[in-house]
């Protein structure tokens, strides 16, 4: 799975490093750092290695896949006191502890569009003043004339990283109506409407973007 991400998402590792840098800057003792949709725990491993454990900054990984969480626990086996895992859906029933940072790495795009505003509001409310929300996401072009070119360049990226045309087509069919990207301007508006007073882009590669939002 980790290899698939690096071969599917341009500059995935570099974007992870940027995310870790933001988390280190925003980490607050005794306030949680959440990774929502943590999958196999790769980001949490980087965070466990980068954020001091004294004073403790609790790391929490959330995912709805038991198989993914099992792999994450194995990966974080040497950091048992630093990371907790929660199996849950990110729906109205999910509640957060007081947080200094909440990260969504290519996760919001899988949340039903009509549920995104309420989730972002809940994220905002759970953050302490000065806390941050980090969102990495696939996005649509703001200009229809560029959409096909962005999609073509992403297709070429995956071909250059070992995927066959058939594999790419199957993946695209599997994600249709499941992964629903929005224009970056629309996503930024949703984040601002949740209450964040400082929102900016820290990463952009054609139809992939990273946002930082501060409370």
Q: In which residue ranges of the chain is pLDDT below 70?
A: 1, 53-54, 80, 173
> Rounded distance, CA 26 to CA 87, Å?
25
In this structure, the number of other CB atoms found within 10 A of the CB of residue 204 comes to 13
Residues 9-25 pLDDT 10s: 999 999 999 999 999 99
Query: Which two tokens mark 39?
Result: 């999958």
Q: How many CA atoms lie within 13 A of 130 on its CB side?
A: 5
In this structure, the number of other CB atoms found within 10 A of the CB of residue 47 comes to 27
Q: Which residue has the tokens 């990371």?
A: 83
Q: Is 118 helix (H, G, I), strand (E, B) or coil?
A: helix
Which pLDDT does position 121 carry in this prediction? 97
Q: Are 191 and 213 in contact (CB under 8 A)?
A: yes
Which pLDDT does position 130 carry in this prediction? 96
The pairing of strands 59-63 and 208-214 is: unpaired
Query: Which two tokens mark 46?
Result: 């980087």
Q: What is the pTM of this model?
A: 0.93
Residues 185-199 pLDDT 10s: 999 999 999 999 899
> What size, in residues, is the chain?
215
β-strand partners of 198: 214
Which pLDDT does position 120 carry in this prediction? 98
């Amino acid at each position: 799975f980790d290899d698939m991400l690096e071969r599917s998402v341009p500059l995935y590792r570099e974007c992870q490093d940027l995310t870790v840098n933001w988390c280190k800057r925003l980490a607050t003792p005794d306030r949680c750092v959440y990774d929502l949709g943590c999958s196999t725990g790769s980001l949490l491993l980087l965070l466990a290695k980068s954020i001091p454990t004294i004073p403790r900054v609790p790391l929490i990984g959330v995912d709805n896949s038991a198989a993914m969480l099992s792999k994450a626990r194995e990966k974080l086996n040497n950091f048992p006191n630093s990371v907790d895992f929660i199996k849950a859906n990110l729906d109205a029933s999910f509640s957060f502890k007081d947080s200094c940072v909440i990260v969504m790495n290519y996760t919001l795009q899988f949340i039903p569009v009509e549920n995104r505003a309420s989730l972002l509001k809940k994220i905002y409310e759970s953050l302490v003043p000065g806390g941050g929300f980090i969102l990495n996401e696939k996005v649509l072009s703001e200009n229809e004339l560029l959409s096909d070119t962005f999609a073509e360049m992403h297709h070429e990226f995956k071909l250059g990283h070992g995927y066959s045309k058939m594999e790419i087509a199957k993946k695209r069919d599997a994600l249709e109506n499941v992964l629903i990207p929005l224009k970056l301007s629309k996503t930024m508006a949703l984040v601002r409407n949740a209450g964040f007073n400082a929102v900016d882009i820290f990463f952009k590669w054609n139809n992939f973007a990273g946002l930082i939002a501060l409370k």
